[in-house]
Amino acid sequence: MTNGPQGWRRYFPVPFVAAVTLLLVLVLLTPNLISFGNPAAGSLETQAYLVIDRAQGTNATHLYIRSLGNARYHSVTIDVATNVSWPPPQNLTDLAWQHRVNETNVLVATFTTLSDPFLANISVVYIDAAGVTEQYIGEFEFHYSGGNLDTETFTPGLAPVAPIPERTLPEYLELLALPLR
Protein backbone atom coordinates (compact mmCIF):
# COMPACT_ATOMS: atom_id res chain seq x y z
CA MET A 1 0.00 0.00 0.00
CA THR A 2 1.35 3.39 -0.94
CA ASN A 3 1.76 6.08 1.66
CA GLY A 4 0.82 9.73 1.17
CA PRO A 5 -1.85 11.53 -0.83
CA GLN A 6 -0.88 9.95 -4.17
CA GLY A 7 -2.08 6.54 -3.02
CA TRP A 8 -5.51 7.83 -2.03
CA ARG A 9 -5.93 9.69 -5.36
CA ARG A 10 -5.70 6.42 -7.23
CA TYR A 11 -8.80 5.12 -5.42
CA PHE A 12 -10.56 8.50 -4.95
CA PRO A 13 -9.93 10.78 -7.96
CA VAL A 14 -10.57 14.50 -7.37
CA PRO A 15 -13.54 14.80 -9.81
CA PHE A 16 -15.24 11.85 -8.13
CA VAL A 17 -14.71 13.30 -4.65
CA ALA A 18 -15.97 16.72 -5.79
CA ALA A 19 -19.14 15.23 -7.33
CA VAL A 20 -19.87 13.14 -4.22
CA THR A 21 -19.28 16.15 -1.95
CA LEU A 22 -21.64 18.30 -4.06
CA LEU A 23 -24.33 15.61 -4.00
CA LEU A 24 -24.03 15.25 -0.22
CA VAL A 25 -24.37 19.01 0.26
CA LEU A 26 -27.45 19.08 -2.00
CA VAL A 27 -29.03 16.14 -0.18
CA LEU A 28 -28.49 17.83 3.17
CA LEU A 29 -29.76 21.23 2.01
CA THR A 30 -32.73 20.15 -0.13
CA PRO A 31 -35.19 19.80 2.78
CA ASN A 32 -34.35 23.39 3.72
CA LEU A 33 -34.81 24.65 0.16
CA ILE A 34 -38.25 23.11 -0.33
CA SER A 35 -40.84 24.83 1.80
CA PHE A 36 -43.92 22.94 2.85
CA GLY A 37 -45.37 25.82 4.82
CA ASN A 38 -46.45 29.35 4.01
CA PRO A 39 -43.74 30.81 1.70
CA ALA A 40 -42.25 34.22 2.43
CA ALA A 41 -43.74 37.25 0.67
CA GLY A 42 -41.64 38.23 -2.32
CA SER A 43 -40.21 34.74 -2.84
CA LEU A 44 -40.28 32.93 -6.16
CA GLU A 45 -43.07 30.68 -4.87
CA THR A 46 -45.42 33.65 -4.33
CA GLN A 47 -44.79 35.47 -7.63
CA ALA A 48 -48.17 35.91 -9.33
CA TYR A 49 -48.65 35.12 -13.01
CA LEU A 50 -51.43 35.74 -15.47
CA VAL A 51 -51.87 32.61 -17.56
CA ILE A 52 -53.77 33.27 -20.77
CA ASP A 53 -55.15 30.39 -22.81
CA ARG A 54 -57.39 29.88 -25.80
CA ALA A 55 -58.03 26.56 -27.48
CA GLN A 56 -57.61 26.69 -31.26
CA GLY A 57 -60.88 27.09 -33.10
CA THR A 58 -62.78 28.59 -30.16
CA ASN A 59 -63.69 32.14 -29.20
CA ALA A 60 -63.33 31.69 -25.44
CA THR A 61 -60.26 33.19 -23.79
CA HIS A 62 -59.40 31.91 -20.32
CA LEU A 63 -57.45 33.92 -17.75
CA TYR A 64 -55.90 32.24 -14.71
CA ILE A 65 -54.11 34.01 -11.88
CA ARG A 66 -51.74 31.68 -10.03
CA SER A 67 -48.24 31.25 -8.66
CA LEU A 68 -45.55 28.81 -9.67
CA GLY A 69 -45.77 27.31 -6.18
CA ASN A 70 -48.74 26.72 -3.93
CA ALA A 71 -49.16 30.25 -2.63
CA ARG A 72 -52.60 30.95 -1.20
CA TYR A 73 -53.40 34.56 -2.09
CA HIS A 74 -55.20 36.80 0.39
CA SER A 75 -57.14 38.40 -2.48
CA VAL A 76 -57.27 38.34 -6.27
CA THR A 77 -59.19 40.92 -8.30
CA ILE A 78 -59.67 40.73 -12.07
CA ASP A 79 -61.48 43.61 -13.75
CA VAL A 80 -62.29 43.18 -17.45
CA ALA A 81 -63.37 45.86 -19.94
CA THR A 82 -64.78 44.74 -23.26
CA ASN A 83 -65.64 48.19 -24.63
CA VAL A 84 -62.12 48.67 -26.01
CA SER A 85 -60.62 48.94 -29.46
CA TRP A 86 -57.40 47.84 -31.08
CA PRO A 87 -54.93 49.49 -31.18
CA PRO A 88 -55.28 50.20 -27.46
CA PRO A 89 -56.70 53.53 -26.34
CA GLN A 90 -54.28 56.12 -24.96
CA ASN A 91 -56.49 57.00 -22.01
CA LEU A 92 -57.87 54.16 -19.87
CA THR A 93 -59.91 56.37 -17.55
CA ASP A 94 -62.95 56.37 -19.87
CA LEU A 95 -63.36 52.60 -19.80
CA ALA A 96 -66.34 50.83 -18.27
CA TRP A 97 -65.19 47.79 -16.31
CA GLN A 98 -68.16 45.47 -16.90
CA HIS A 99 -66.87 42.27 -15.31
CA ARG A 100 -65.21 41.70 -11.94
CA VAL A 101 -63.85 38.61 -10.26
CA ASN A 102 -63.01 39.13 -6.60
CA GLU A 103 -61.69 36.06 -4.81
CA THR A 104 -60.22 35.72 -1.32
CA ASN A 105 -58.02 33.04 0.22
CA VAL A 106 -57.47 31.20 -3.09
CA LEU A 107 -54.72 29.35 -4.93
CA VAL A 108 -56.11 30.23 -8.39
CA ALA A 109 -58.62 32.74 -9.75
CA THR A 110 -60.15 32.35 -13.23
CA PHE A 111 -62.12 34.36 -15.75
CA THR A 112 -63.43 33.48 -19.22
CA THR A 113 -64.46 35.95 -21.91
CA LEU A 114 -65.77 35.74 -25.46
CA SER A 115 -64.88 39.38 -26.19
CA ASP A 116 -62.12 40.43 -28.55
CA PRO A 117 -60.35 42.73 -27.89
CA PHE A 118 -60.55 43.06 -24.12
CA LEU A 119 -58.58 44.69 -21.32
CA ALA A 120 -57.75 43.04 -17.98
CA ASN A 121 -56.73 44.88 -14.82
CA ILE A 122 -55.31 42.48 -12.21
CA SER A 123 -54.43 42.97 -8.56
CA VAL A 124 -53.18 40.19 -6.28
CA VAL A 125 -52.34 40.48 -2.57
CA TYR A 126 -50.26 37.92 -0.68
CA ILE A 127 -49.66 37.98 3.08
CA ASP A 128 -47.14 35.59 4.62
CA ALA A 129 -47.16 34.08 8.11
CA ALA A 130 -45.11 37.00 9.49
CA GLY A 131 -47.69 39.50 8.20
CA VAL A 132 -45.47 40.80 5.38
CA THR A 133 -47.60 41.85 2.41
CA GLU A 134 -46.76 41.77 -1.30
CA GLN A 135 -49.01 43.05 -4.08
CA TYR A 136 -48.79 41.99 -7.73
CA ILE A 137 -50.40 44.10 -10.46
CA GLY A 138 -50.79 44.12 -14.21
CA GLU A 139 -52.93 45.82 -16.83
CA PHE A 140 -53.06 44.23 -20.28
CA GLU A 141 -55.06 44.49 -23.47
CA PHE A 142 -55.46 41.39 -25.63
CA HIS A 143 -56.50 41.04 -29.27
CA TYR A 144 -56.51 37.97 -31.53
CA SER A 145 -55.52 38.60 -35.11
CA GLY A 146 -54.25 36.30 -37.83
CA GLY A 147 -53.68 33.37 -35.47
CA ASN A 148 -51.68 35.50 -33.00
CA LEU A 149 -52.44 36.94 -29.61
CA ASP A 150 -51.41 40.59 -29.61
CA THR A 151 -50.74 41.96 -26.13
CA GLU A 152 -50.20 45.47 -24.87
CA THR A 153 -49.19 46.17 -21.29
CA PHE A 154 -50.05 49.42 -19.53
CA THR A 155 -48.12 48.68 -16.33
CA PRO A 156 -44.80 50.54 -16.04
CA GLY A 157 -42.10 48.05 -15.16
CA LEU A 158 -43.52 45.15 -17.17
CA ALA A 159 -41.75 44.24 -20.39
CA PRO A 160 -43.64 44.47 -23.69
CA VAL A 161 -44.98 41.17 -24.98
CA ALA A 162 -44.33 40.04 -28.56
CA PRO A 163 -47.24 38.57 -30.55
CA ILE A 164 -47.90 35.02 -29.35
CA PRO A 165 -48.98 32.34 -31.85
CA GLU A 166 -52.28 30.82 -30.74
CA ARG A 167 -50.91 27.29 -31.15
CA THR A 168 -48.26 27.96 -28.43
CA LEU A 169 -50.75 28.97 -25.73
CA PRO A 170 -51.02 28.91 -22.74
CA GLU A 171 -48.69 31.83 -22.03
CA TYR A 172 -47.44 32.92 -18.60
CA LEU A 173 -47.22 36.69 -18.08
CA GLU A 174 -45.48 37.84 -14.92
CA LEU A 175 -47.23 40.46 -12.82
CA LEU A 176 -45.31 43.37 -11.28
CA ALA A 177 -44.41 42.89 -7.61
CA LEU A 178 -44.95 45.82 -5.23
CA PRO A 179 -43.72 45.17 -1.69
CA LEU A 180 -46.12 46.69 0.85
CA ARG A 181 -43.85 46.20 3.83
List, for residues 76-110, the tens digit of each pLDDT value: 999 999 888 888 777 777 778 888 899 999 999 99
Does the predicted TM-score (pTM) go above 0.85?
no
Average pLDDT on 165-179 reads 91
Same domain, 124 and 59: yes
The pLDDT value given to residue 33: 54
Give percent of the chain with pLDDT exceeding 90. 41
Q: What residue numbers bound the domain in which 168 lies? A: 44-179
pLDDT exceeds cutoff 90 at 66: yes
Same domain, 28 and 57: no
Helix ranges (DSSP H) in the chain: 5-11, 14-33
| Cβ(141)–Cβ(86) below 8 Å | yes
Quick check: is 39 in a domain? no
Same domain, 52 and 18: no
Residues listed for the chain: 181
- How far out from the chain centre does Cα 41 lie? 14
Same domain, 13 and 48: no
The pLDDT value given to residue 170: 93
The pLDDT value given to residue 62: 93
Number of domains in the chain: 2
Residue 138 three-state SS: strand
- How far out from the chain centre does Cα 50 lie? 6
Same domain, 23 and 58: no
pLDDT exceeds cutoff 80 at 3: no
